[in-house]
Amino acid sequence: MRLRAAGVPVQLLHYAGQFHGFLNFDALVGAGADGLKRIGAALSDAFNGKASDCTIEIADALPSKRRPLASAAAEVATTSLTGWMSIERIGATLFARLSPRAARIARRWLESSLVPGATVRRSTMGCLGRLAPRQTYPAG
């Protein structure tokens, strides 16, 4: 608010309903990937003298008539995929702390088995994480 009052262009992105740190899950959460792309574009514009002053509200775009079972299934899938990725990353970090050399060898050996899982996660999250951006400032 003070930046705008001082005439500094501000691009505010508000991702309703997202958890703290969702940008770190960009490979899993569609809003994280979207946020990083928007932040990169805003920084690029700012460094090239094309900064814009706007606020964009971004929320999940849900079908108007979603059945309770479909909604519950989407929540279970999202939670499961988030847990899966968290366990993978925590395990890799702990393993690297215990033995960096063994972790590098294991990562090379496991990469071929992890790629299909990453592809499944990405395509599933692409179906679940549809976003609907709406510019709220300046009023259009």
Residue 10's pLDDT is 92
Residue 39's pLDDT is 95
Alpha carbons 117 and 88: distance in angstroms, whole number: 11
* Positions of the chain with pLDDT lower than 70, given as ranges: 62-66, 110-129, 140
User: Is 59:17 a contact under the CB 8 Å cutoff?
Assistant: yes
- Residue 56 belongs to what H/E stretch? strand 54-60
Residue 129's pLDDT is 58
Alpha carbons 131 and 59: distance in angstroms, whole number: 6
Residues spanned by the domain of 123: 2-137
User: Is 13:33 a contact under the CB 8 Å cutoff?
Assistant: no
Residue 102's pLDDT is 81
Alpha carbons 118 and 132: distance in angstroms, whole number: 25
68-89: pLDDT as tens digits: 887 788 778 777 877 777 787 7
Residue 54's pLDDT is 93
Work out how many domains the chain is built from and give that number. 1
